[in-house]
Structure 1
Amino acid sequence: MRRALDLLYAAGLWLSALCILVIASLVGLQVVARIWDAILQALDLPRSGFVVLSLAEISGYLFAAASFLALAGTLKSGAHIRVTMLVNALPQRVRALIEAAALAFGALAAGFGTWAIGGYALESWRFGEVSPGLVQVPLVWPQAAMAAGAALLTIAFLDELTITVRTGRPSFRAAEDAVALGREG
């Protein structure tokens, strides 16, 4: 089960990276086209006029997907920002209870987010909603990617809650401790 969950989180991170790569490729293509047109104009030649249609809109959808798909993997690796001044001063048993409560709240909030975003995606699919730009993107795609990322985050919170209840310590704390040691050394 552990291997399957870790593969799931890794898949979310890889899909997130793919979204960022597509954004960079589209923006790079647009930049190269503009430079090419400037060169053609300087040589008094007709410009190509190449434009990546709806670039800002599509990039925004890909960025939202990338952000949501990366949430679970970054939680599991300890890359989320947490304020730990209070819990660091508490005894280990109390700290474990507070962390478990925070993880349970996170699981509930992420679960609600999954349900809400999934509902929006379902409505967009039912009504065939598309974006208003020149390239009409079916809105269900970015919404479904966001819902999938929120679902992965919910699973990651439940995973961490289980680990914390079982061991008294979330798995991502090892990464936080390593960062703290790096600052001291």
Structure 2
Amino acid sequence: MRRILDRLYAGALWLAAVTFGLIAVLVLLQIAGRLIDRAARLVDLPPPGLTIPSLAEFGAFLFAGAVFLGLAGTLQAGGHVRVKLLIQTLPAGAARWLGVLVCAAAAALSAFATWSSALQALDSLQFNSVSYGVIPIPLVIPQGVMTLGLALFCVALLDSMVTLARGGVPGYRAAETRTEEQA
């Protein structure tokens, strides 16, 4: 089970990285189009008008997808900000159970966010909602990706909670320990 979850988190991180890469490619293509237009004007040619319609929407949707897909893997890699002042002052057992409680509360919040996001995506699907840009994008696509990212984050929080409850070291703590040892 551990390998499956780790691969799931890594796969979501990989998709988030691909999504950021797509944003970079789209922006570079838009810049290249503008440069070609300027070069054409410099030599008294009509600019070809190379643009990517709805670039701002594509970029925003891709960015949101990258952020939400990256939540679970970032948690496991110790990349989320954690305030450890209270946990560091508690005895090990109490600190572990406080961690379980915090993971449970965060999982409950992320489960609610997942549920709300799924309802929004279902509404968008039912009513065929699309974006307002030049290229109408079905809103169920970015909302579905957001829901998937939130669901994976909820799984990662539950994974950490169970690991802590069993006396193990959750992924975020193992990553923090490795970072502290390297410093």
Alpha-carbon RMSD across the aligned residues, in angstroms, is: 1.1
Q: How does 1:1-185 map to 2 (within 5 A)?
A: 1-183=1-183
1:52-103, CA deviations, whole angstroms, 9 ceiling, x for partnerless residues?
0010111001100110000000001111110112211211011001100000
SS of match in other structure, 1:172: helix
Contact (CA 8 Å) 1:96, 1:168: kept in 2 or not?
no
Residue 16 of structure 1 and its aligned partner are, at CA, apart by 0.7
Paired residue total = 183
Unaligned runs of 5+ in 2: none
SS of match in other structure, 1:45: coil
1:94-140, CA deviations, whole angstroms, 9 ceiling, x for partnerless residues?
10011000000111011111100000000000000000111100000
TM-score by length of 2: 0.96
Identity rate, percent: 42
Contact (CA 8 Å) 1:129, 1:138: kept in 2 or not?
yes
Q: CA–CA distance in 2 between the matches of 1:6 and 1:38?
A: 48
Unaligned runs of 5+ in 1: none
SS of match in other structure, 1:167: coil
Residue 182 of structure 1 and its aligned partner are, at CA, apart by 4.1
Q: CA–CA distance in 2 between the matches of 1:160 and 1:4?
A: 14
Contact (CA 8 Å) 1:96, 1:169: kept in 2 or not?
no
Q: CA–CA distance in 1 between the matches of 2:137 and 2:151?
A: 23
Q: Which amino acid letter does the alignment assign opposite residue 148 of structure 1? A: L
Q: Which amino acid letter does the alignment assign opposite residue 94 of structure 1? A: A
Q: CA–CA distance in 1 between the matches of 2:76 and 2:118?
A: 23
Q: CA–CA distance in 2 between the matches of 1:168 and 1:13?
A: 24
SS of match in other structure, 1:49: coil
